[in-house]
Amino acid sequence: MFLRLRAHAPSGSEVTRMPTVKPLDPALLCRRCDPDILPFQTTEEIEDLDRIVGQARAVDAVRFGIEMRHGGYNIFALGHPGTGRHALVRQFLEEEAVTMPPPPDWCYVNDFAQPHKPRALSLLPGRGIALRRDMERLVEDLRTAIPGAFETEEYRARKHVIEEEFKERQEKDFGAVEQEAKAQGIAMLRTPVGLAFAPLQDGEILPPDKFEELPEAERKRLEEKVGALKERLQQSLHQMPRMEREAREKVKALNREVTTFAVGHLIEELKRDYADLPEVVRYLEEVQQDVVENSDEFRRPEETPTLMGIPLPAMKPSFARYQVNLLVDHSASKGAPVIDGEYPTYQNLLGRIEHLAQMGALTTDFTLIKAGLLHRANGGYLLLDAQRVLSQPFAWEGLKQALRSGNVQIESLAQALSLVSTVSLEPEPIPLDLKVVLVGPAWIYYLLCQLDPDFNELFKVAADFDDQIPRDGETGTLYLRMIATVARKEKLRPLDRAAAARVIERSARLAGDGEKLSARIQSITDLLRETDHWAGRAGRKVATAEDVQKAIDAQVHRSDRLRERMQEEIRRGTILIDTKGSKTGQVNALSVIDLGQFAFGRPSRITARTRLGTGDVVDIEREVELGGPIHSKGVLILSSYLGGRYATDRPLSLQASLVFEQSYSGVEGDSASCAELYALLSALSETPIRQSLAVTGSVNQHGEVQAIGGVNEKIEGFFDLCQAGGLTGEQGVLMPASNVKHLMLRQEVVDAAAAGRFQIYAVETIDQGIELLTGVPAGERDVAGQFPEGTINQRVEARMIDLSEKRMRYGGAGKPEGEA
């Protein structure tokens, strides 16, 4: 736990001396909202609010961002969560979107020349779905038309002619060789793997001995004849593949002709329908060509092939390549899309390509391309949560890349990083025309501005949402309307006047400022829901101030375990805090512990001790690194104040040490610097301080008390402690006067103050404070420059002089000039 002592900037007001400071008027302790001036009985009577309260700057920025149609004018809505950023932006976008025409449909179709690069087609809204249906119907039609065309008698007859022609040519070729052999008395024999030639004699193969008997010339003549026949046969065999190929080509040409006839009129019809879209016409022409080239697939019977009895998937002809992958369909859209990117991963943003496992391998095609948020929002608006985008790997880079290039290119992450080598696609990029609205906290905005050079180029419009809005008449009325609207929208019971007033007061308290209201609508909505719950428990039809109070108390009770524990330990004396009596060099300071949803004040004891030294004020917290830099700064200001106020013509010759007693987890902030100074002054003047008072406030070098944060929690923290031990009427808190406007104290505290049992003092200077704490006048220098005898300041100065003289006596290095 880190105690944070919140500080505000110095007020800069002039120091005005008041002899004594009176307790604050109880009316100033909490700026009430008077139910009686509210112009309604219950919130049911108030009309709905159709816009957000306050936030004029953010509203203007969003409107401007929407109107700027140039690239780079994307919007970053920054502010605290719960301030209605998302709702406001969404409302504006939706209002704008309905006035815009729906953007075109986008389809991916096969590129028959390059199947790995699917082509993107843009069509008027509604025509995408029509094209998809038309292509489905075309394939259906082709599957009957093409086999039909091949079953005609004409086709069969023409094919037969081609085959016969081939056979005849073959026959003629072979027949000629055989005839020739026969004529020359040579036998053509079939061997197991081919043909052989041997001379005949009387119808029998010439026996070898008879052959040997032949004269040399005759033998040679026979050999030549056989050789020549063999060559003829070889030649004729060489012709065979060519002839076969020719026949095949002829059949193919015939098939093409028949298919073209069957397909032509079907595709012509489609081309007429899409004549106004040259891209689609070109695609249809390619489809026609592909169908003609692959007419066999339409004729093949559909049977599932098997491998050892196991059916093999998808080996049958697939007509998927004629499908239309309708990526974005605006057939039912009324205006431009407004898409809420709930889960902006890289793939969800930019789209993805899915794969199918086939026989252990991953395959894909253009039908497996899925649209991303950018596709769906194209032509309109995309709302994204900045934190989510940034926490998804590569999502931010992908988004920027798309916005910078003005295109969205679908590419899997693994592909982009070359991690896998599955079959993949490079779909044609789709041009982007959309506005992206990022919603996020301010720190992300500032970090991106600082660290990402692309960010300022791409998100030129910052819509800065405030977490407070002024609490004046106009916004007050709007705020009430907002409360009424929320109650109605959430189907909650209406609130009566007093309840609405309590909600307003609570809102001011949440803002930590009596003159402001909280813009964290989420917190108010929660309060209203909880109020409704308690009103329901009490069986009321209309929620009352009591229900609101019950909701607030329950909220506090749910989260104040730690506070109660702390208070208990103080009461039991484990943590030493006095609320009565007087002590020298010891003061009660107040710190705030912020648990996020809940903050509370915690009293701490600060002690100071002084002795002869060389002018150091030792901050023990800092020595052990439990104190933050702001705290250290406050302590250094103290020594400067001491040196500048007292015994200015002598070297500062004291050593003082300051400590936050029983603090084990670090101290930051300078809101305790007043208290530390009081402890020091008490120690130096040896004047006891009233322990029934607690102090908050920071101090500057001139002794002016400056504003701090969390004033309400701090005061209530000390009040609770005192109340637990019984209020004595002596007890109270010293707070900076510049914090009075922030007071929104609990009713209990206000009541105690009104009854004079608890005092709250608004202090402007250290002198005022020390007088209250010690009951001894602070004292002002007279004409001779001396403080009146017996005053605090006089005692302090006397002590300082004493210390410096002692120091001179010891002969330290710090002798005053002129006495050396």
CB of 290 to other proteins, least distance (A): 32
Q: Which residue in 49, 124, 139, 237 binds other proteins (CB under 8 A)?
A: 237
In whole angstroms, give the CA distance from residue 717 to residue 764: 22
737 binds other proteins (CB under 8 A): no
195 binds other proteins (CB under 8 A): yes
Q: Which residue in 192, 596, 811, 818 binds other proteins (CB under 8 A)?
A: 192
Alpha carbon distances (Å) from 442 to 387, 464, 614:
11, 8, 46
Residues 85-114 close enough to bind other proteins by CB under 8 A: none
In whole angstroms, give the CA distance from residue 339 to residue 331: 16
Q: Which stretch binds other proteins (CB under 8 A): 188-196, 408-416, 539-547, 681-689?
A: 188-196
161 binds other proteins (CB under 8 A): no
CB of 296 to other proteins, least distance (A): 20
Nearest CA-CA partner of 691 in 724, 738, 734, 751: 734
CB of 235 to other proteins, least distance (A): 8
Nearest CA-CA partner of 606 in 582, 645, 570, 576: 576
226 binds other proteins (CB under 8 A): yes
208 binds other proteins (CB under 8 A): yes
170 binds other proteins (CB under 8 A): yes
Nearest CA-CA partner of 426 in 364, 358, 357, 344: 364
In whole angstroms, give the CA distance from residue 207 to residue 209: 6
CB of 219 to other proteins, least distance (A): 7
Q: Which residue in 9, 157, 183, 193 binds other proteins (CB under 8 A)?
A: 193
Q: Which stretch binds other proteins (CB under 8 A): 237-245, 255-263, 432-440, 690-698?
A: 237-245
Residues 6+ apart with CB under 8 A from 468: 511, 513, 516, 517, 518, 519
CB of 189 to other proteins, least distance (A): 6
Q: Which residue in 190, 265, 541, 572 binds other proteins (CB under 8 A)?
A: 190
Residues 6+ apart with CB under 8 A from 717: 563, 590, 592, 600, 601, 602, 603
CB of 307 to other proteins, least distance (A): 23
Distance of CA 474 to the CA centre of its chain: 34
229 binds other proteins (CB under 8 A): yes
Cβ proximity to other proteins: between 139 and 206 the closer is 206
CB of 227 to other proteins, least distance (A): 7
| Residue 606 C-beta-side C-alpha neighbours within 13 Å | 33
Length of the chain: 820
CB of 167 to other proteins, least distance (A): 6
Q: Which residue in 60, 140, 151, 171 binds other proteins (CB under 8 A)?
A: 171
Q: Which residue in 15, 205, 314, 417 binds other proteins (CB under 8 A)?
A: 205
In whole angstroms, give the CA distance from residue 584 to residue 678: 10
Cβ proximity to other proteins: between 209 and 649 the closer is 209
| Residue 133 C-beta-side C-alpha neighbours within 13 Å | 7
Cβ proximity to other proteins: between 240 and 620 the closer is 240
CA angle 27, 31, 32 (to 5 degrees): 95
Note whether 705 and 766 are within 8 A (CB).
yes
Pair type for strands 194-201 and 186-191: antiparallel
* Active-site residue set: 671, 714
CB of 317 to other proteins, least distance (A): 24
Cβ proximity to other proteins: between 95 and 178 the closer is 178
Residues 505-544 close enough to bind other proteins by CB under 8 A: none
217 binds other proteins (CB under 8 A): no
- Phi, psi (deg, nearest 5) at residue 262: -70, -35
Cβ proximity to other proteins: between 159 and 533 the closer is 159
Cβ proximity to other proteins: between 67 and 204 the closer is 204
Q: Which stretch binds other proteins (CB under 8 A): 36-44, 206-214, 743-751, 758-766?
A: 206-214
Q: Which stretch binds other proteins (CB under 8 A): 106-114, 193-201, 458-466, 564-572?
A: 193-201
The residue with tokens 């590129």 is: 111
In whole angstroms, give the CA distance from residue 44 to residue 543: 11
Q: Which residue in 16, 20, 99, 191 binds other proteins (CB under 8 A)?
A: 191
* DSSP assigned state of 99: T
320 binds other proteins (CB under 8 A): no
In whole angstroms, give the CA distance from residue 221 to residue 210: 15
What Rg value do the Cα atoms of the chain yield, rounded? 47
In whole angstroms, give the CA distance from residue 176 to residue 182: 10
196 binds other proteins (CB under 8 A): yes
CB of 196 to other proteins, least distance (A): 4
Alpha carbon distances (Å) from 592 to 10, 516, 714:
20, 21, 6
238 binds other proteins (CB under 8 A): yes
223 binds other proteins (CB under 8 A): yes
User: For the stretch 705-728, what's the b/e string if a residue is b when 16 or more beta carbons lie within 10 angstroms of its beta carbon?
Assistant: bbbbbbbbbbbbbbbbbbbeeebe
In whole angstroms, give the CA distance from residue 378 to residue 328: 9
H or E, element range at 476? helix 473-489
240 binds other proteins (CB under 8 A): yes
Q: Which residue in 8, 158, 159, 230 binds other proteins (CB under 8 A)?
A: 230
176 binds other proteins (CB under 8 A): no
155 binds other proteins (CB under 8 A): no
206 binds other proteins (CB under 8 A): yes
In whole angstroms, give the CA distance from residue 119 to residue 107: 8
Q: Which residue in 1, 56, 87, 189 binds other proteins (CB under 8 A)?
A: 189
For 180, the 3-state DSSP assignment is helix
> 485-504 mask for other proteins (x: CB under 8 A)?
--------------------
CB of 220 to other proteins, least distance (A): 9
DSSP string, 226-269: HHHHHHHHHHHHHHHHHHHHHHHHHHHHHHHHHHHHHHHHHHHH
The residue with tokens 């961002």 is: 65
For 586, the 3-state DSSP assignment is strand
Q: Which residue in 199, 351, 372, 777 binds other proteins (CB under 8 A)?
A: 199
Q: Which stretch binds other proteins (CB under 8 A): 47-55, 199-207, 249-257, 752-760?
A: 199-207
CB of 375 to other proteins, least distance (A): 54
Q: Which residue in 12, 194, 309, 473 binds other proteins (CB under 8 A)?
A: 194
Q: Which stretch binds other proteins (CB under 8 A): 98-106, 197-205, 469-477, 769-777?
A: 197-205
H or E, element range at 348? helix 346-350
Cβ proximity to other proteins: between 222 and 425 the closer is 222
In whole angstroms, give the CA distance from residue 3 to residue 8: 16
State the CB neighbour count (10 A cutoff) for residue 129: 18
In whole angstroms, give the CA distance from residue 287 to residue 142: 12
The residue with tokens 């400071």 is: 21
Cβ proximity to other proteins: between 196 and 724 the closer is 196
Cβ proximity to other proteins: between 192 and 539 the closer is 192
Cβ proximity to other proteins: between 239 and 405 the closer is 239
718 binds other proteins (CB under 8 A): no
| Residue 771 C-beta-side C-alpha neighbours within 13 Å | 19
CB of 192 to other proteins, least distance (A): 4
Site size for other proteins, by CB under 8 A?
35
Residues that bind other proteins (CB under 8 A): 167, 170-171, 174, 187, 189-199, 204-208, 211, 219, 222-223, 226-227, 229-230, 233-234, 237-238, 240-241
